[in-house]
C-alpha cells in the first residue's frame, strides 16, 4: 500500500504550498469579480445623468480596481505550475478536463479583459462615452466569465462527470463538454462564488466610503458610493444565501461526508437540526451522539436545507465510516475493497499489455467502459489506495468552524447592507459615527468569510483531489519533501512582500482620494 511508505510530509508540504498559493490568489480575485459590476453601474449613472461627479466616483473606484487587478493578475498561474511540479499524477489523470476550460479561460481573460481594461483606463478622452461604458460592462462580464472556467474545473474535481477514464493513457477523457460545463455543482459553484465577490466588493466600497465620511472628505462621493454599494450588496448577499442553500443541497448529494463534517454530525438522524452556533468538545468520543460542548441548534433545519424535507435522514460521519445498511450507505472498508478491485483490474491490464497479451488487455480495458464495473468498482477507485478508515474523514473542527464563520458572517453582511441602505435612504449616514467607524473593519471580515468558504470547499473534501477517484497520496509527485518545503517558504515570503506592497499602494491611493483619479493624468 502507498500508505506504508511515509509520504505524509511530502503530501502535507505539497498541500500547504497549494493552499498558501490558492489563498493568496483568492485575496485578489473576489474584489475584481465584484467591483467591476459596481464600477459599470456607477459609469452607467454617469452616462445617463451626465453628472461629472459620477465620472469622478467611477474613476476613483476604477483606480482601486486597477491596483487590485494589477497586483493580483497571473497569481493563479503559480497554481498551474504547482499542478505540473507537485501534483503531476493528478494533472495527468485529469486529462483534458482541465485543459479545455483553462484554455478558454486563458483566451477569454487575455482578449476580453486586457483589451477592454485598456479602454477602461486609457480611453476616457479617446473613445465615445457609450463605447467606454460598454468596455466597462465587458470587463465585468469578462472577469466573471473567466472565473466560470476555473470553477467548472474545480466543480469537476468535487463531482467528476461527463468523462470516462482511459486505462491505456491513464487519463480521463471528456465524453460530454456540456455535462462538465452545466453540472449542477459547477453552475451553483459559479453563482455562489461570483455573488461572494459582489458582497466583498460592496463591503470594500462601503468601508472605504465610510472612512471618507469620518474624515469629512469627499462626502458626495462617499454617500453616493455607499448607496450604490448597499443596494448592490444587499441584493448580492440575498443571492449568496440562496446559492449557499443550493450548495448545501449539492454537497448533501455528491459529498455527504463533507456535509457531516460541516455540521459536526457524527451519528446520522432523521429530523436533523442545524447547528447555528456551536463549540466542539475535543474530549468527547467521536461516536458520541453529541460532540458539542455548547450549541444552539435549529430543529429539523438541516434535513430541510439538505433535502427539502424536515423529516429526511441526514447521514453522519459514523454512517459513512461504519456503513448504514438501512440507508444504503456502504462502509469505508466496503468501499476500500471495491476500490482495490478497480486498482487490481488496472494493474492486470497494465501487466497484460506489458506482457504482450493483447486479448487479455483488451478484455480488461473494456471493463473500464462497462456500467456495472464503473458503478460497483471504478466509482470507488480512490479508496483502493489506503485501508485506514480515519484517512477518509476530513478535519472536522476546521471544516465545522470555517463553515460556521462563513455563514454567520454572511448573514451579518446582509444586516450590514440593510442598515447602511436604511441610513442612506434617511440621509442619516454622516451622523451614524458608530457604524461609520465599524464599516472599515468589516472589510477584513469579508475576506475572512471568503477564504473560509474555500477552506470548507477544499478541506471538507479531503483526502480527495478528485472525489472518490484520486486521493492526495496518489496525486502527489514523488519529490523530496525538503524541496517542497523550501519552495513553500520562498512563496510565503514572496506572497507576503507582494501583499504588503498591495496594501500599501491601496491605502496610499485611498488616502490620496479622487483628486486625479483614473489611470491617466
Partner 1 sequence: MPKKSERSVMYKVWRFYIDGFKDLSLWGRSVWIIILIKLFIMFVIIRLFFMPDFLKKNYTTDEQRSKHVLENLTSQL
Give the one residue of 8, 175, 363, 520 binding partner 1; rule: CB under 8 A: 520
In the complex with partner 1, the residue whose CB is nearer, 88 or 281, is 88
**Residue among 92 and 411 whose Cβ is closer to partner 1:** 92
Neighbours of 362 (CB within 10 A): 12
Q: How far is the CB of 243 from partner 1 (least distance, A)?
A: 32
Which of the stretches 38-46, 199-207, 443-451, 491-499 binds partner 1 when contact is defined by CB under 8 A?
491-499
Residues 58-87 that bind partner 1 (CB under 8 A): 63, 66-67, 70-71, 73-74, 77-78, 81-82, 84-85
The answer to the question of residue 355 lying near partner 1 (CB under 8 A) is no
110 binding partner 1? (CB under 8 A): no
For position 463 contacting partner 1 by CB under 8 A, the verdict is no
Regarding 360 and contact with partner 1 (CB under 8 A), the answer is no
Q: Is 5 in the site for partner 1 (CB under 8 A)?
A: yes
Residue 346 found at the interface with partner 1 (CB under 8 A): yes
DSSP summary character for residue 4: G
Q: Looking at beta carbons only, is 296 or 355 nearer to partner 1?
A: 355
Residue 297, strand partner residues: 275
Q: Which one of residues 479, 485, 492, 499 is an interface residue with partner 1 (CB under 8 A)?
A: 479
CB-neighbour burial class of residue 196 (10 A; exposed 0-12, middle 13-18, buried 19+):
buried
Q: Which three cell numbers stand for residue 387?
A: 485501508
Contact 97, 180 (CB under 8 A): yes
Q: By CB under 8 A, which span of 42-50, 54-62, 89-97, 437-445 interacts with partner 1?
A: 89-97
- Give the CA distances from residue 243 to residues 116, 152, 195, 249, 469, in Å, rounded to whole numbers and listed in that order: 29, 16, 8, 10, 27
Beta bridge partners of 163: 174
Give burial (CB, 10 Å; 0-12/13-18/19+) of 301: middle
Report how far apart, in Å, the C-alpha atoms of 401 and of each of 18, 280, 406 are. 21, 9, 8
Cβ 157 to partner 1 shortest distance, Å: 17
- # chain residues binding partner 1, by CB under 8 A: 60
Site membership for partner 1, residue 490 (CB under 8 A): yes
Distance of CA 515 to the CA centre of its chain: 36
Minimum Å gap between C-beta 117 and partner 1 is 11
Residue carrying C-alpha cell 460530454: 176
Intra-chain end-to-end CA distance of the chain, in Å = 64
Cα Rg, the chain, nearest whole Å: 25
From the list 158, 180, 157, 150, the residue with the least C-alpha distance to 29 is: 150
Q: Does 103 bind partner 1 (CB under 8 A)?
A: no
Of 266, 324, 275, 326, give the one whose Cα is nearest residue 300: 275
Task: Pick one of 19, 22, 498, 499: the residue that binds partner 1 (CB under 8 A).
Answer: 498
Distance CA 414, CA 6 (A): 47
Closer CB to partner 1, 419 or 479, in the complex: 479
Q: How far is the CB of 357 from partner 1 (least distance, A)?
A: 16
Backbone angles phi, psi at 517, to 5 degrees: -55, 160
Cα–Cα distance for residue pair 351/365, rounded to 1 Å:
12
- Contact (CB, 8 A) for 453 and 408: no
Q: How far is the CB of 153 from partner 1 (least distance, A)?
A: 18
Interface of this chain with partner 1, residues 147 to 186, rule: CB under 8 A: 167-171
13 near partner 1, rule: CB under 8 A: no
Q: Does the protein bind partner 1 through residue 251 (CB under 8 A)?
A: no
Cβ distance to partner 1 smaller for residue 297 or 502:
502
Which residue's C-alpha cell is 454617500? 223
Specify the stretch interacting with partner 1 by CB under 8 A; choose among 54-62, 177-185, 319-327, 494-502: 494-502
For residues 344 and 347, give the distance between their C-alpha atoms in angstroms, rounded to a whole number.
5
Part in contact with partner 1 (CB under 8 A); list of ranges 116-124, 191-199, 389-397, 405-413: 116-124
Residue 510 binding partner 1, by CB under 8 A: no
111 binds partner 1 (CB under 8 A): no
| 171 vs 269, beta carbon nearer partner 1 | 171
Instruction: Find the part of the chain contacting partner 1 (CB under 8 A) among 115-123, 137-145, 181-189, 445-453.
Output: 115-123
**CB of 301 or CB of 479, closer to partner 1:** 479
CA distance 112 to 94: 27
Q: Taking contact as CB under 8 A, which single stretch among the options 186-194, 336-344, 406-414, 443-451 is the one that binds partner 1?
A: 336-344
b/e for 218-247, b at 16 or more Cβ within 10 A?
A: beebbbbbbbbbbbbbbebbebbbebbebb
Q: Is residue 357 a contact point for partner 1 (CB under 8 A)?
A: no
The reply to whether 519 sits near partner 1 by the rule CB under 8 A is yes
- Give the residue with the Cβ less far from partner 1, 239 or 477: 477
Q: How many other C-beta atoms lie within 10 A of the C-beta of residue 141?
A: 17
Question: Which secondary-structure segment (H or E) carries 277?
Answer: strand 274-280
Interface residue list for partner 1 (CB under 8 A): 1-2, 4-5, 63, 66-67, 70-71, 73-74, 77-78, 81-82, 84-85, 88-89, 91-93, 118, 121-123, 126, 167-171, 340, 343-344, 346-347, 350, 384, 474, 477-479, 486-487, 490-491, 494, 498, 501-502, 505, 508-509, 512, 516, 518-521
Amino acid at each position: 500500500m502507498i500508505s506504508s511508505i511515509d509520504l505524509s510530509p511530502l503530501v502535507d508540504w505539497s498541500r500547504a504550498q497549494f493552499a498558501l498559493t490558492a489563498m493568496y490568489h483568492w485575496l485578489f480575485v473576489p474584489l475584481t469579480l465584484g467591483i467591476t459590476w459596481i464600477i459599470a453601474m456607477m459609469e452607467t449613472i454617469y452616462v445617463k445623468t451626465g453628472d461629472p461627479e459620477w465620472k469622478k466616483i467611477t474613476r476613483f473606484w476604477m483606480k482601486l480596481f486597477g491596483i487590485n487587478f494589477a497586483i493580483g493578475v497571473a497569481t493563479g498561474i503559480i497554481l498551474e505550475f504547482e499542478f505540473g511540479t507537485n501534483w503531476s499524477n493528478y494533472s495527468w489523470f485529469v486529462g483534458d478536463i482541465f485543459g479545455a476550460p483553462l484554455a478558454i479561460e486563458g483566451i477569454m481573460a487575455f482578449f476580453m479583459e486586457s483589451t477592454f481594461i485598456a479602454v477602461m483606463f486609457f480611453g476616457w478622452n479617446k473613445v465615445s462615452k457609450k463605447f467606454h461604458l460598454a468596455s466597462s460592462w465587458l470587463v465585468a462580464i469578462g472577469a466573471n466569465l473567466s472565473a466560470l472556467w476555473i470553477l467548472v474545473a474545480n466543480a469537476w474535481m468535487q463531482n467528476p462527470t461527463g468523462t470516462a477514464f482511459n486505462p491505456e493513457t491513464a487519463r480521463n477523457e471528456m465524453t460530454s463538454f456540456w455535462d462538465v460545463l452545466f453540472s449542477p455543482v459547477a453552475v451553483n459553484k459559479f453563482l455562489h462564488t461570483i455573488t461572494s465577490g459582489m458582497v466583498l466588493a460592496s463591503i470594500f466600497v462601503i468601508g472605504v466610503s465610510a472612512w471618507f465620511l469620518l474624515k469629512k472628505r469627499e462626502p458626495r462621493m462617499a454617500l453616493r458610493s455607499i448607496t450604490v454599494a448597499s443596494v448592490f450588496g444587499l441584493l448580492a448577499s440575498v443571492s449568496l444565501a440562496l446559492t449557499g442553500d443550493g450548495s448545501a443541497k449539492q454537497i448533501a448529494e455528491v459529498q455527504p461526508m463533507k456535509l457531516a463534517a460541516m455540521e459536526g454530525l457524527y451519528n446520522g438522524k432523521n429530523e436533523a437540526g442545524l447547528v447555528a452556533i456551536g463549540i466542539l468538545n475535543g474530549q468527547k468520543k467521536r461516536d458520541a451522539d453529541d460532540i458539542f460542548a455548547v450549541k444552539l441548534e435549529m430543529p429539523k433545519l438541516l434535513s430541510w436545507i439538505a433535502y427539502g424535507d424536515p423529516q429526511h435522514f441526514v447521514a453522519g460521519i459514523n454512517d459513512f465510516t461504519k456503513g448504514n445498511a438501512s440507508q444504503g450507505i456502504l462502509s469505508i472498508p466496503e468501499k476500500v475493497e471495491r476500490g482495490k478491485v478497480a486498482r487490481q483490474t488496472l494493474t492486470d491490464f497494465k501487466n497484460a499489455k506489458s506482457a504482450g497479451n493483447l486479448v487479455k488487455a483488451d478484455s480488461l480495458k473494456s471493463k473500464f467502459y462497462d456500467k456495472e464495473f464503473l458503478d460497483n468498482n471504478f466509482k470507488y477507485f480512490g479508496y483502493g489506495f489506503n485501508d485506514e478508515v480515519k484517512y477518509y474523514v476530513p478535519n472536522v473542527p476546521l471544516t465545522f468552524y470555517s463553515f460556521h464563520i462563513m455563514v454567520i458572517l454572511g448573514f451579518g453582511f446582509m444586516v450590514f447592507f440593510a442598515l447602511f441602505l436604511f441610513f442612506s435612504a434617511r440621509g442619516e449616514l454622516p451622523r451614524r459615527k458608530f457604524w461609520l467607524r465599524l464599516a472599515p473593519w468589516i472589510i477584513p471580515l469579508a475576506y475572512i468569510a471568503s477564504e473560509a468558504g474555500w477552506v470548507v470547499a477544499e478541506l471538507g473534501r479531503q483526502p480527495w483531489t478528485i472525489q472518490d477517484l484520486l486521493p492526495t497520496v496518489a496525486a502527489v509527485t514523488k519529490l523530496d519533501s525538503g524541496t517542497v518545503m523550501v519552495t513553500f517558504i520562498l512563496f510565503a515570503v514572496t506572497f507576503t512582500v507582494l501583499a504588503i506592497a498591495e496594501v500599501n499602494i491601496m491605502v496610499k491611493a485611498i488616502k490620496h482620494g479622487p483628486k486625479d483619479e483614473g489611470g491617466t493624468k
